[in-house]
A and B are shown apart, each in its own frame.
Chain A
């Protein structure tokens, strides 16, 4: 496994940070998509703490700019007039595109959409970049909209099991340096792998053993896969708390039946 040194991290969890929008430049605050705001503030907080500036962006998101998609379709279905601005924002990679525009990051720009595994899948994709493309900005972001609350009770049991935290919205950003020998703080990740009906926690453990990671390091999956963005929040909190050791954060997506993990070494 390749280890990516963590140069800095930033996050925004609106439920705990009511004045987070103060950090938005006024033109953006007025008009742009809320999910862009989340990604922007988390990235800005990470970038303030580290130099040099990142040269590439990999974004992980389960649902993308769902609010914008709904607003666009509202216009189409209501009176036949969909808003161009909402359509543009609704494309999954609009957040990463906006970050590139705002921060002038002109290297590779990828968006990964693997449900609850999006953070792990995006983190694993970072190690595919060329050395020239580092530092890399890894951003995990998902938003909560009113519609999701209405849907939740009607989703399948497995979906509800892995969305116990509901639709937590947050953005977490890490600035990562090029792969190197394991030297904390760093992270490594394994992308989604089908569980083939097996129990997710066990599937992840087996993969950990295959890669030489310590099985003791795995946190209970109930704690780390309760919302789309929970794995990333957990990673950030461990780093912020300076919890020494290797922490394996597993995730599982009922939509894909696949599990993945990120190991944060502090």
Chain B
């Protein structure tokens, strides 16, 4: 199939660095450490791990109460992404929303209270109706007057899959505009869950570093508004970048650990490159998944070496933003596009010491010609996503979008 580069005409972001794409990217550009000891919820852990938490309540940004934090963060990002689109007329808008936690931030509290006091079941209606991830998507769809939506949940890879699905929904003509949103708030379930897997670095994650021992969780949301070329033109919106290719695969190796050679990751990346109609050498930098677990970082670089004859420069944003789970693919995609537009390869906060077993170091650049960036996201269940973003509307060989 000929390459089809889909315009991105709006973006939104919220993270521990703050509200708004520019604010978040300031932190990424500086390689700021965005983590702080967990205080936004009582996780019950003896030691509060360093997390990328959002202390300012998103409801105050929105000026109203919202069913749960995941939904509120999604709304903030969605609003920003659509800010430039003032008159949509008959253009049809769809939403693909990615989340792991959804309304669990509230339903886990309900469950805890229910266990203490069975009579608490009388309050079920208030808590449970927003438990389903589809309720989060519906809230966003309602706010943006979307004609339709899908809700997906594939753990850490979901945000990028949302971008890929949005591309397809534009390509096949289902929608003229499609908003890909990823959102997750911190929850007792995820904080305690990752702690029980012994995957958390309580002192803050160190991506690709020799001393790395685990992740730092975060919360946030990222949104990308995709449009058909015709819709972008009608709206008079200059694309900020283009979605050039999407790859998806499963490792078939283990329910949590990545394949040590990153076979599934290789397949996802190759698929994305093939769809973009480019050779690996065209990629100018890789915005890695880089969660700082001993396994992920080594497997990821090994996989990239297998795909790229010369490993491109890479970075991880997980110390700056935290690992925002389903939001990470979308949020870090927005940051990667900002980096591409500004012509920089961001520093990797938390990295200090070279690791032989990774065999490569993140390489920031304050000035770079970036035409193509590859974003990776790998999730539980061996689920892999890769998306190639382009700064230009056609691939190098001049094939029209």
Contacts and interface: CB of A to CB of B under 8 A. Distances in A.
A201 B7 CA distance: 36
Interface stretch (A39-47, A152-160, A233-241): A152-160
Interface string B174-190: 00000000000000110
A106 B248 contact: no
A258 B138 contact: yes
Contact of A106 (B150, B192, B249): B249
A206 interface: no
A93 B124 contact: no
Nearest to A152: B124
A187 B154 CA distance: 25
B193 A93 contact: no
A156 B129 contact: yes
Interface in A54-102: 56-57, 62-64, 69-70, 72-74, 76-78, 80-84, 87-88, 90-94, 96-98, 100-101
Nearest to A114: B134
B138 A194 contact: yes
A118 B150 CA distance: 9
B315 to A, nearest CB: 26
A257 B56 CA distance: 30
Nearest to B142: A194
A109 B153 contact: no
B392 interface: no
B151 A101 contact: no
Contact of A192 (B44, B149, B251): B149
Contacts of B142: 194, 257
Interface string B100-142: 1010100010011001000001111100111111110110011
Given A63-B132, A90-B193, A109 B383 contact: yes
Counting contact residues on chain A (CB < 8 A from B), the size range is 35 or more
A118 B196 CA distance: 30
B382 interface: yes
Interface in A9-65: 56-57, 62-64
A73 B112 contact: yes
B381 A255 contact: no
A80 B196 CA distance: 10
Interface string B369-388: 00000000001111100000
B152 interface: yes
Given A110-B154, A150-B121, A156-B125, A193 B148 contact: yes
A113 B197 contact: no
A5 interface: no
B147 interface: yes
A150 B263 CA distance: 45
B282 to A, nearest CB: 20
A155 B126 CA distance: 8
A168 interface: no
B363 interface: no
A76 B381 contact: no
Contacts of A98: 255, 381
A231 interface: no
Given A109-B154, A127-B172, A128-B165, A87 B196 contact: yes
Contacts of B252: 100-101, 104-106
A194 B193 contact: no
A159 B256 contact: no
A255 B108 contact: no
Question: Which of B131, B151, B256, B379 gathers most chain A CB within 10 Å?
Answer: B151
A110 B132 contact: no
Counting contact residues on chain B (CB < 8 A from A), the size range is 35 or more
B29 interface: no
Contact of A128 (B134, B172, B382): B172
A256 interface: yes
A121 B138 CA distance: 13
A261 to B, nearest CB: 12
B155 A113 contact: no
Contacts of B108: 73
B148 A106 contact: no
Contacts of B197: 84, 87-88
B54 interface: no
B255 A94 contact: yes
B383 A93 contact: yes
A72 B161 CA distance: 27
B162 to A, nearest CB: 10
A117 B193 CA distance: 29
B192 A93 contact: no
A106 B138 contact: no
B380 to A, nearest CB: 5
A111 interface: yes
A155 B132 contact: no
Given A74-B115, A97-B381, A108-B249, A90 B129 contact: no
B267 interface: yes
A114 B271 CA distance: 27
B196 A84 contact: yes
B168 interface: yes
Contact of A113 (B134, B146, B380, B383): B134
Contacts of A96: 154, 381, 383
A151 B124 contact: yes
A225 to B, nearest CB: 14
B264 interface: yes
B112 to A, nearest CB: 5
B88 interface: no
B44 A80 contact: yes
The 6 closest A-B pairs by CB, nearest first: A97-B381, A256-B138, A108-B248, A87-B193, A100-B250, A92-B153
22 contacts: A57-B250, A76-B44, A77-B112, A78-B115, A82-B196, A84-B193, A92-B100, A97-B381, A100-B251, A101-B254, A105-B252, A107-B249, A109-B250, A110-B152, A111-B153, A114-B134, A118-B134, A155-B124, A192-B148, A194-B142, A253-B134, A256-B137
